[in-house]
Amino acid sequence: MTKPIIAVYAITKEWQLEEIKETAKVYDVKVKDELNSDDIKNIEIVYGWGSELSENTADLNQLKWIQKDTAGLDAIPESLRNDKDVLLSNMSGVHAVPITENIFGYILGVARGIIPAMTSQLESKWDKSIASNMFSLKDKKILVYGTGAIGQEIARTAKFFEMATYGVNSNGRSIQTFDHTYTMESSQEILSDMDFVINALPLTDESELFFDKEIFANMKDTAYFLNIGRGESVKDDHLIEVLEAGTLAGAYLDVTSPEPLPESSKLWQTQNLVITPHISGNVEHFRDMIYPIFKENLDSYLSNGTLAKNEYNKKKGY
Of 95, 180, 238, 278, the active-site residue reads 278
Structural contact between residues 302 and 23, judged by C-beta atoms closer than 8 angstroms: yes
State yes or no: is 180 an active-site residue: no
- What is the rounded distance in angstroms from the CA atom of residue 144 to the CA atom of residue 187? 10
Position 60, amino acid = L
Among 34, 183, 213, 268, binds a second copy (CB under 8 A): 268
Among 17, 31, 75, 114, binds a second copy (CB under 8 A): 114
Q: In angstroms, how far is the first alpha carbon of the chain from the final one?
A: 37
Those residues with Cβ within 8 angstroms of residue 52's Cβ, 6 or more apart along the chain or in another chain: 40
Q: Which stretch binds a second copy (CB under 8 A): 28-36, 82-90, 194-202, 271-279?
A: 271-279
Q: Which stretch binds a second copy (CB under 8 A): 28-36, 115-123, 204-212, 216-224?
A: 115-123
Contact between 275 and a second copy by CB under 8 A: the answer reads yes
Position 71, amino acid = A
Instruction: Work out how close the CB of 129 gets to a second copy at its nearest, in angstroms, rounded to a whole number.
Output: 9
Among 17, 75, 130, 175, binds a second copy (CB under 8 A): 130
Instruction: Work out how close the CB of 111 gets to a second copy at its nearest, in angstroms, rounded to a whole number.
Output: 7
- What is the rounded distance in angstroms from the CA atom of residue 120 to the CA atom of residue 136? 21
- What is the rounded distance in angstroms from the CA atom of residue 253 to the CA atom of residue 280? 10
Q: Which stretch binds a second copy (CB under 8 A): 49-57, 61-69, 97-105, 242-250?
A: 97-105
Structural contact between residues 219 and 187, judged by C-beta atoms closer than 8 angstroms: no
- Radius of gyration for the chain, computed over Cα atoms and rounded to the nearest angstrom: 22
Among 98, 146, 151, 231, binds a second copy (CB under 8 A): 98
> Which of 115, 103, 108 is CA-nearest to residue 197?
103
Q: Which stretch binds a second copy (CB under 8 A): 33-41, 71-79, 175-183, 276-284?
A: 276-284
Among 9, 27, 106, 145, binds a second copy (CB under 8 A): 106
Q: What is the dihedral of CA 199, 201, 202, 204, to 10 degrees?
A: -100
Q: How many residues does the chain have?
A: 318
Q: Which of residues 156-185 bind a second copy (CB under 8 A)?
A: 157, 160-161
- What is the rounded distance in angstroms from the CA atom of residue 118 to the CA atom of residue 286? 31
Instruction: Work out how close the CB of 277 gets to a second copy at its nearest, in angstroms, rounded to a whole number.
Output: 5
Q: 102 or 233, CB closer to a second copy?
A: 102
Contact between 202 and a second copy by CB under 8 A: the answer reads no
- What is the rounded distance in angstroms from the CA atom of residue 254 to the CA atom of residue 244? 19
Among 18, 55, 118, 288, binds a second copy (CB under 8 A): 118
Contact between 97 and a second copy by CB under 8 A: the answer reads yes
Structural contact between residues 229 and 200, judged by C-beta atoms closer than 8 angstroms: yes
* Residues of this chain that bind a second copy (CB under 8 A): 97-98, 101-102, 104-106, 108-109, 111-115, 117-118, 120-121, 124-128, 130-131, 134-138, 157, 160-161, 252, 259-261, 263-265, 268-269, 274-280, 282-284
- Active-site residue list: 278
